[in-house]
């Protein structure tokens, strides 16, 4: 591929992020076609069954959704653009999270018929969390119900007031045929979306006034970036700001991360050239991003590395994929230094040295071998055995530990068992591989029943994992009903003694502790506090006490669900010179939980989902009635483009299994819903009784 030697200032690492079905993959396809990688545009749901380049898994082709983030490299006007097409379905939120962690900028795609949707808010929040600068592309405005200005209004209402158009669409719905560029004040039009190029020309007379007003707003916002420009603008007016001034100032505003340029059009077509121009002109290069910070694992000191090939290597593994041809691929973002094929690197997370086998530049499921990747670049590596998502790779002589990626706990579980003996062994391997790829997928064995339990972010997530197990690993399995991952916690404070004293012939066992149990401030996790004065419990016995408490809380106290949000303070106790041991104090810790937690007002918590339903008005009453029947709390109702209504509600996950199908039949297939985990909440007493009864009759 030509144009390999691109200076770092012209690199762009960007993600395409959005709500499911907004047209991310189609937009990516349009970009690949325009940058010469594809010779034809892959429709996401092609009539001939042909599918998009970046949606290469069988499940993606069938469902028309993106599940894994595909990484693709393209070149545009001297810029090298690494694009990651991320999924919009909330069950695959980890894919978006880990992609944003390594990206410098993002293109947020909106469905012009719907405006801002549930997952648009989620990915927007994730991008805010990582400080990722964005540009906004309002897609599908050429379709019936597509409306650039209504969608822009929904961005202002739900995401940010600081989003201004840099292009205005020419035409409306099916008559859309280009944009007015507010920077150079020219019209760029096309006859057919598949045209080879945009034709520059004069702004249509009926749009001139609107374009001038929109440009004035853009200039006003831009000059805030530089004091000198602001002064000149105040003294000499808009005419004194040149196109170069405007572009430079807008870029500064966008890079600050709290100002967003908006464009719109048909993501399949030639208009994506304008999106590419915005990426090249306004998105950050690796040099615009702050130097990466990490810690020295030996000293714990904070270390800073500049994005330069001359610095020692630091890189983050952000994704694992099993490739049918080359095996395990690890996607890596290099922050500093160079990564060379055949070299040895240190996995700082595990402390092990690894050898880099091959380095491949990915084009979705096609690959091209390269010898080296430098600072600021993204590629995939073959041959790393012990490296997983969130691990840091660094120069063995200059170790550095980058911040890892946190993933939410999965709220839904299903039991899965192999159909035949031969499937049993294959299933173990398949589950392990899938868990390596996906950090929100967990597997454990239920000690009581011996069943294998799969946990994931939602029904669709688990359904696709079972499907992949069948197709990629030829494992036939029986799958149980989805189960909710309940949790337990405490609402009060209690003090308890845990005393383990056993006298058998010879040496006895003696451990005695007093522990105070109370809720943690955050309501999450487990905290252990050591308040022992003097040596009433010797230092070496305190860790075993903590382990005893922690392990018992993990097994639950009311109904056997893991207990969260508990702070345990060890404040007193006693020991025996001869009979005390680590085991005795571990058991004393266990007894303190059994004694204390029942007195600390224990309760069961359940995952509550934030549900958004978009529906024609005719079905509104039925949908609200149904949500109420599912113990839902209606949070808001609002109008959305196209004359439909949006209902937002909080509903317990246990009442939502099969909801997608229920809502379709309730609305003749015209309503759609999305859901994501909002928080854990206390279960009402009558429901708690049912849960306990079910668990104890197991």
Q: What is the pLDDT of residues 428-482, one digit of tens each?
A: 888 887 887 777 788 888 766 778 888 887 777 788 788 888 887 888 888 888 8
Neighbours of 602 (CB within 10 A): 20
**What are the start and end residues of each CATH 3.30.70.240 domain in the chain?**
606-696
Alpha helices in 65-117 (DSSP H): 93-102
Residue of 457, 696, 433 whose CA lies nearest to 561: 696
Question: Which residues of the chain carry a pLDDT beneath 50?
Answer: 1-3, 38-69, 87-92, 364-365
Residue of 446, 511, 467, 520 whose CA lies nearest to 489: 520
- Given the candidates 2.40.30.10, 3.40.50.2300, 1.50.10.10, 3.40.50.280, the CATH classification of the domain at 292-402 is 2.40.30.10
Spatial contact of 98 and 106, defined as CB atoms under 8 Å apart: no
Spatial contact of 624 and 647, defined as CB atoms under 8 Å apart: yes
pLDDT at 415: 86
377/379 Cα distance (integer angstroms): 7
Spatial contact of 487 and 559, defined as CB atoms under 8 Å apart: no
pLDDT at 589: 96
Q: Which helix (H) or strand (E) holds 394?
A: strand 392-394
- Given the candidates 3.30.230.10, 3.40.50.300, 3.40.50.720, 3.40.1800.10, the CATH classification of the domain at 492-600 is 3.30.230.10
**What are the start and end residues of each CATH 3.30.70.870 domain in the chain?**
412-484
Neighbours of 692 (CB within 10 A): 15
Q: CATH 3.30.70.870: does it fit domain 412-484? A: yes
**What are the start and end residues of each CATH 3.40.50.300 domain in the chain?**
8-200+257-282
- CATH placement of domain 606-696: 3.30.70.240
Burial 570-593 (b: 16+ CB within 10 A, else e): bbbbebeeeebbeebbbbbbbbbb
**What are the start and end residues of each CATH 2.40.30.10 domain in the chain?**
292-402
Residue 42 token pair: 């892959």
Give the predicted TM-score (pTM) of the model.
0.67
pLDDT at 69: 39
386/351 Cα distance (integer angstroms): 10
**What are the start and end residues of each CATH 3.30.230.10 domain in the chain?**
492-600
Beta bridge mates, 168: 180
Beta bridge mates, 682: 605
Phi-psi label, residue 288: left if phi above 0, alpha if psi -120 to 50, beta otherwise: alpha
Q: Cα-flanking dihedrals φ and ψ of residue 286, to 5°?
A: -55, -25
85/450 Cα distance (integer angstroms): 39
pLDDT at 138: 93
Neighbours of 227 (CB within 10 A): 9
Residue of 537, 488, 492 whose CA lies nearest to 513: 537
Considering the domain 8-200+257-282, what is its CATH architecture? 3-Layer(aba) Sandwich (3.40)
pLDDT at 468: 80
Spatial contact of 678 and 650, defined as CB atoms under 8 Å apart: yes
Neighbours of 15 (CB within 10 A): 27
Spatial contact of 359 and 338, defined as CB atoms under 8 Å apart: no
């Amino acid at each position: 591929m030509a144009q390999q030697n691109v200076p770092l200032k012209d690199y762009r690492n960007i993600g395409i992020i959005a709500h499911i079905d907004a047209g991310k993959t189609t937009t990516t396809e349009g970009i690949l076609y325009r940058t010469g990688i594809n010779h034809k545009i892959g429709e996401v749901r092609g009539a001939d069954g042909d599918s998009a380049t970046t949606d290469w898994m069988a499940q993606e082709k069938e469902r028309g959704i993106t599940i894994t983030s595909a990484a693709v490299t393209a070149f545009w006007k001297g810029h090298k653009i690494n694009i990651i097409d991320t999924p919009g379905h909330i069950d695959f939120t980890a894919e978006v999270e880990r992609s944003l962690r390594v990206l410098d900028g993002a293109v947020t795609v909106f469905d012009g018929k719907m405006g801002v949707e549930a997952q648009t808010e989620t990915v927007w929040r994730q991008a805010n969390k990582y400080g990722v600068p964005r540009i906004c592309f309002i897609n599908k405005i050429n379709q019936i119900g597509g409306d650039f200005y209504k969608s822009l209004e929904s961005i202002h209402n739900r995401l940010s007031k600081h989003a201004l158009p840099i292009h205005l669409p020419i035409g409306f719905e099916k008559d859309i045929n280009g944009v007015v560029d507010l920077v150079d004040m020219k019209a760029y039009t096309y006859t057919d979306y598949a045209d080879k190029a945009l034709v520059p020309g004069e702004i249509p007379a009926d749009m001139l006034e609107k374009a001038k007003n929109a440009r004035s707003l853009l200039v006003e916002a831009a000059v805030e970036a530089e004091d000198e420009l602001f002064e000149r603008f105040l003294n000499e007016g808009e005419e004194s700001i040149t196109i170069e001034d405007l572009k430079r100032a807008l870029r500064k505003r966008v890079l600050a991360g709290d100002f967003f340029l908006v464009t719109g059009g048909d993501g399949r077509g030639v208009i994506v050239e304008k999106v590419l121009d915005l990426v090249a002109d306004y998105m950050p290069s690796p040099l615009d991003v702050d130097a990466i910070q990490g810690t020295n694992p030996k000293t714990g000191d904070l270390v800073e590395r500049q994005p330069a090939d001359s610095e020692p290597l630091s890189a983050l593994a952000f994704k694992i994929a099993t490739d049918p041809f080359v095996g395990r691929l690890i996607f890596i973002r290099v922050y500093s230094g160079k990564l060379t094929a055949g070299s040895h690197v240190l996995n700082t997370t595990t402390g092990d040295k690894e050898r880099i086998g091959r380095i491949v530049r990915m084009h979705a499921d096609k690959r091209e071998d390269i010898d080296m990747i430098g600072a600021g670049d993204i590629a995939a590596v073959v041959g790393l055995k012990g490296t997983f998502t969130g691990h840091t790779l660094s120069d063995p002589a200059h170790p550095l530990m980058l911040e890892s990626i946190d993933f939410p706990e999965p709220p839904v579980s299903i039991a899965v068992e192999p159909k035949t003996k031969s499937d049993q062994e294959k299933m173990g391997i398949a589950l392990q591989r899938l868990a390596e790829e996906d950090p929100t997928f967990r597997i454990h064995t239920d000690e009581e029943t011996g069943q294998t339990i799969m946990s994931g972010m939602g029904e669709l997530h688990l359904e696709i994992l079972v499907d992949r197990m069948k197709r990629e690993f030829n494992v036939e399995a029986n799958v149980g009903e989805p189960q909710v991952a309940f949790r337990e916690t405490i609402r009060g404070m209690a003090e308890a003694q845990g005393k383990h004293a056993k006298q058998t012939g010879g040496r006895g066992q003696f451990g005695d502790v007093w522990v105070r149990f109370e809720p943690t401030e955050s309501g999450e996790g487990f905290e252990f506090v050591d308040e022992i004065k003097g040596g009433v419990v010797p230092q070496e016995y305190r860790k075993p006490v903590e382990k005893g408490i922690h392990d018992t809380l993990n097994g639950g106290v009311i109904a056997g669900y893991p207990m969260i949000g508990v702070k345990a303070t060890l404040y007193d106790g006693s020991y025996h010179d001869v009979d005390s041991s680590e085991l005795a104090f571990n058991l004393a810790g266990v007894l303190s939980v059994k004694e204390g937690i029942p007195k600390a007002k224990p309760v069961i918590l359940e995952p509550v989902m934030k549900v958004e339903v978009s529906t024609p008005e005719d079905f509104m009453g039925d949908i609200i009635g149904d949500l109420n029947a599912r113990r839902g709390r209606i949070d808001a109702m609002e109008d959305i483009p196209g004359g439909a209504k949006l209902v937002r509600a909080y509903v317990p996950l246990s009442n939502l299994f099969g909801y997608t199908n229920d809502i379709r039949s309730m609305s003749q297939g015209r309503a759609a819903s999305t859901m994501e985990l909002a928080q854990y909440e206390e279960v009402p007493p009558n429901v708690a009784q049912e849960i306990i009864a079910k668990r104890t009759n197991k």
